[in-house]
Amino acid sequence: MSTAVPPVIPVSSVQSVESQPPAASPAFLSFVSRLNESLRNGLSQRRPWAELVDRSAFSKPESFSDALVRVRKNYSYFRVNYLSVIGLILAFSLLSHPFSLLLLLGLLCSWIFLYLFRPADQPLVLFGRAFSDRETLGFLIIFSVFVVFLTTVGSLLISALMVGVGLVCAHGAFRALRISSWTNKNKYPPVSCPF
The pLDDT of residue 34: 86
DSSP-based three-state secondary structure for 51: helix
What percentage of the chain carries pLDDT values higher than 90?
24
The pLDDT of residue 20: 53
Which one is predicted more confidently, 133 or 12? Answer: 133
What percentage of the chain carries pLDDT values higher than 70?
79
Could you report the per-residue pLDDT of 79-96, keeping only the tens digit for each?
899 999 999 999 999 999
> 98-111 and 152-174 are packed helices; what angle lies between their axes, rounded to 10 degrees?
100
Task: Give the confidence band of 193 by pLDDT, cuts at 50, 70, 90.
Answer: very low
Spell out the domain ranges in the chain.
Answer: 65-185
Contacts of 151 (CB under 8 A, 6+ apart): 100, 103
What CA–CA distance (Å, rounded) separates 166 from 158? 12
Neighbouring C-beta atoms of residue 62, cutoff 10 Å: 9
Q: How far is Cα of residue 14 from the mean position of the Cα atoms in its chain?
A: 44
Name residue 73's beta-bridge partners: none
User: Is the pLDDT score of 172 beyond 50?
Assistant: yes
DSSP-based three-state secondary structure for 144: helix
Could you report the per-residue pLDDT of 103-161, keeping only the tens digit for each?
899 998 888 888 777 777 777 777 888 878 888 888 889 989 988 888 888 899 999 99
Could you report the per-residue pLDDT of 16-42, keeping only the tens digit for each?
555 555 556 677 778 778 888 888 887
Q: Which helix (H) or strand (E) holds 126?
A: strand 124-126
Q: Do 70 and 175 meet the contact criterion of CB atoms below 8 Å apart?
A: yes
User: Is the pLDDT score of 2 beyond 70?
Assistant: no
